[in-house]
Amino acid sequence: MINTVLFDFDGTLVNTNDVIVASWQHTYMHYLGREESLEKITACFGEPLLLTMEREFPGVDPEESAEVYRSYQREYADELVKIFPGIKELLGELKKAGYRMGIVTSRTRESAQRYMDMFGIGPYFEAMVTCEDTNIHKPNPEPILLCLDKMGITADEAIMVGDSPFDIKCANNACVKSVLVDWRITGCGESPIADAVEDYTIAEPAELMEVLKKVNG
């Protein structure tokens, strides 16, 4: 029986799409003197930042390029980041129904916590696994498995909700059921992960409650 819901962060709970795209364009301009297509940027949503930096800017210390990206994001976060409509209501319904909740994200803990505090959603979550908690990232199952371990539950007790192929493949590899959200921006470009297969797709947050009823019979 599913008693725990694990959420990705960016593009799932919080709409960071605009600030992420703008931060990437700023970084491309800084190092290459040009912007890149939206398709190229969104195809890598969900990939750990340092891995993308290594690929996009060879010869540049990925920590350096990541700081160029993050500094821009910090400056414009308050202006560009929004919580998705219906998310706070969903979290309240899940808590009321007795579900436990965790976050599995490739974002840093400091930045994720900042947005959680901004929108008042932190108290809903028992555990959070970030890019700093493991050296092995999505789509490897390690982030989900680590969150399961932190919460003291098994794979068959959890379901993963995310917006990218990295989230879904991570769940596939961890033997956890998965839900793909359809309010995502990802999918505009060609995904580097072609064999991620979600169990369910939802068009709005409230539909997750129906999925859980179906899964739990």
Can you give the C-alpha Rg of the chain in angstroms?
17
| Cα dihedral 129, 203, 190, 171 sign | positive
Bridge pairing between strands 100-104 and 177-181: unpaired
Query: How many angstroms separate the Cα of 59 from the Cα of each of 55, 56, 62?
Result: 9, 10, 9
Closest C-alpha among 135, 138, 96 to residue 9: 138
- Catalytic residue, chosen from 8, 10, 163, 167, is 8
Q: What is the DSSP letter of 157?
A: G
Q: How far is the C-alpha of 93 from the C-alpha of 172, rounded, in Å?
A: 26
Q: What is the DSSP letter of 84?
A: P
Q: How far is the C-alpha of 91 from the C-alpha of 110, rounded, in Å?
A: 21
| 8 A C-beta contact, residue 60 and residue 53 | yes
182 is catalytic: no
Q: How far is the C-alpha of 126 from the C-alpha of 200, rounded, in Å?
A: 24
Query: How many angstroms separate the Cα of 74 from the Cα of each of 17, 21, 78, 115, 117?
Result: 14, 13, 8, 11, 14
Which amino acids are annotated catalytic?
Answer: 8
